[in-house]
Structure 1
Amino acid sequence: MMTETTELGIEDDGENSTAVMGSYGSAVWPVYDAAAEILVLWAINQPSMRKHNFFVRQSSHSLSIDACGHLLSILQSPSSMGTPGVTGAVMWDSGVVLAKFMEHAVDCKRLVLMGKNVVELGSGCGLVGCVAALLGAHVILTDLHDRLKLLKKNVDVNVGVLGNARGSARVMELTWGDDLSTEFVAPLPDFVVGSDVIYSEDAVTDLLQTLSQLSGSHTTIFLAGELRNDAVLECFLEAALGEFQIGHIDQTQWHPEFRSHRVIIAASPKLEKLVLKELLNCKVPA
């Protein structure tokens, strides 16, 4: 027999439970324990045995990808990868997976981005934010000051010059952990998105502070990342579970052509305000 918990929309079949959380219109699997989730992710996906950079070519100066009825051209700067601490100069699989997940979720009517306010954290080359704008959202793409030049080029090339984008995109500087200006919080965004933003234990506190500042009672967060370091991801999950409700989205809900054993995606709301964080698991198509 299935029972329902009203606050989270949880259905329990006796062995497993799913929940409808935030603005994502399909059931997710709640995550309660960080260490247990890490064991499951690494056991099932075995990321060290999977192909790295399945969807991207980081040695190329651009990445072409079909999205939202357009052929997008995402400019990259491979030479910048030699600079310590610089990761946003090229695309990673997690960004491609998250962008195509959003497009697929909109097409399947699990997600509505038309007219919504979106903030992208750690935008890098900006594919995720550009796709969100093409899906009708009003997007603020953010990164550190020295990453903005390439980001602005990609927004201009892929959103600004199309003229028929249903949404809008603008680029702003943002350092995690800093107090946010009114452009970010008045009003608070409907969605916060980010790919490959969970990469360092040192950055977890600042990242969560910014996520908390951006989150209201209606905010849904989607995060995607490479399965590289289990300690870093466990550190993030442990800290996030104190403030956010985290759930796992089944792989069958991903874009069928853009899945990877090396990538996870997360989405979520605050516990006290029921904002949403869901953990999304992707798998390579056969």
Structure 2
Amino acid sequence: MKFTDSPVIELSVIDTRLSIQQDNGSMHVGTSVWPCSLVLVKFAERWHPLKCAAGDNPYADLLNFTNKRGVELGAGCGVASMGLYLLGLHDIVVTDIAPVMPALKHNLKRNKPALKKALKTTQLYWGNEEQLKSLKPPFDFVIATDVVYLEETVAPLIKAMEVLMADDGVVLLGYQLRSPEAHKLFWEMCVDVFEVEKIPHEHLHPEYAYEEADVYVFRKKKKEQNS
């Protein structure tokens, strides 16, 4: 299930190396590094302007992070936020629940020399409207990787995505099936709220294209005008 049992995961992004410490013995899944965060970051790196000429890049607009705001939900060890920060998403808030915060903050501090700044963190329970409001949405990017594994958190997660996302914003979702029940409910509910685009597997980074991991882009469905 986890990416590896090694206590430290290294991930190189453009010309910077991130070093993420995980605690697989913890009671909380958020203190381990899960594959989808790596898959999402390496997908974004593959199509980054520094790596890919604009004319050959179908994701040039999607992955243009200049002057955009982002928020990560259920960030865990913070891999996706740190990776996307290095790719230009400089205004990003990294969130998770209270028990995961020590591991998240530890990893952000550990990588401060590589990031050259401390990323903003805040505690967020997806169903807590006050906490959602305090983040001051809307955001251009809502980032979420490996967050669908409990049936009871599916509805709050989708609501949080919807509330936080700008009307013309996107959710970048790294996804792997963890629970058949949560999976079924998530996709049933998603199609009511979002237009869903699945990134073709051959467009993922060749070294990080795990068979079971996918990247999706969600956009808000346009509300029908009343005639």
**TM > 0.5:** yes
Post-superposition offset of 1:163: 5.8
Q: Which residue of 2 is the match for residue 90 of structure 1?
A: 32
1:211: which partner in 2?
A: 161
Say whether residues 1:135 and 2:77 are aligned partners. no
8 Å CA contact 1:114–1:135 kept in 2: the answer is no
Paired residue for 1:184, among 135, 142, 145? Answer: 135
SS of the equivalent of 1:140 reads strand
Equivalent residue, structure 2, for 1:76: 22
The Cα shift of 1:229 comes to 3.1
SS at match of 1:72: strand
Q: CA deviation at 1:181?
A: 4.7
Unaligned runs of 5+ in 2: none
Measure how far apart 1:61 and its partner are: 1.9
Aligned residue pairs: how many?
212
Q: For residues 57-78 of structure 1, give each alpha carbon's deviation from its aligned partner in whole angstroms, at most 9, with x where no partner exists.
A: 2x32211121121111001112
Quote how far apart the aligned CAs of 1:273 are. Answer: 5.8
The aligned counterpart of 1:125 is 77
Asked whether the equivalents of residues 82 and 115 of structure 2 are also in contact (C-alpha less than 8 Å), the reply is: no
1:263–1:241 distance in 2 versus 1, CA, 3 Å? same
**How far, CA to CA, are the matches of 1:194 and 1:169 in structure 2?**
17
What's 1:198 paired with? Answer: 148
RMSD: 2.0
Query: Following the alignment from structure 2 to structure 1, what is the Cα–Cα distance between the partners of residues 22 and 161?
Result: 27
Q: Which residue of 1 aligns with 2:64?
A: 112
Distance 2:88 2:123 in 1: 22
Amino acid at match of 1:150: A
Residue of structure 2 in register with 1:67 after alignment: 13
Aligned equivalents of 2:127 and 2:180: distance in 1? 23
Q: Which residue of structure 2 aligns with residue 227 of structure 1? A: 177
> 1:102 pairs with 44, 56, 81, which one?
44
Q: Which amino acid aligns with 1:101?
A: F
Give distance in 2, aligned partners of 1:102 and 1:248: 14
Write the distance in 2 (CA, Å) between the matches of 1:237 and 1:225. Answer: 11
**Higher gyration radius (CA):** 1
- Does the 8 Å contact 2:98/2:123 carry over to 1? yes
The SS at the match of 2:220 is coil
CA distance in 2 between counterparts of 1:70 and 1:173 reads: 27
Alignment partner of 2:125 out of 161, 175, 190: 175
Tell me if the contact between 1:141 and 1:169 (Cα under 8 Å) persists in the aligned partners: yes
TM-score (ref. length: structure 1): 0.69
**TM-score under structure 2 length normalisation:** 0.86
Mapped to 1, the partners of 2:206 and 2:157 lie a distance apart of: 30
Deviation at 1:244, TM superposition (A): 0.8
Structure with a larger share of its residues in helix: 2
Q: Does 1:253 align with 2:203?
A: yes
Alignment-mate amino acid for residue 47 of structure 2: A
* d(CA) in 2 for partners of 1:163, 1:192: 20
Question: In the alignment, is the contact (CA less than 8 A) between 1:208 and 1:240 conserved in 2?
Answer: yes
Query: Shift of the alpha carbon at 1:230?
Result: 3.4
Alignment-derived partner of residue 263 in structure 1: 213
Contact 1:155 1:170 in 2 (8 A): no
Change (3 A) 1:273 1:157: farther
2:35 is aligned with what amino acid?
Answer: D
Structure 1 residues 90 and 163 mapped into 2: Cα distance closer, same or farther (>3 Å)?
A: closer
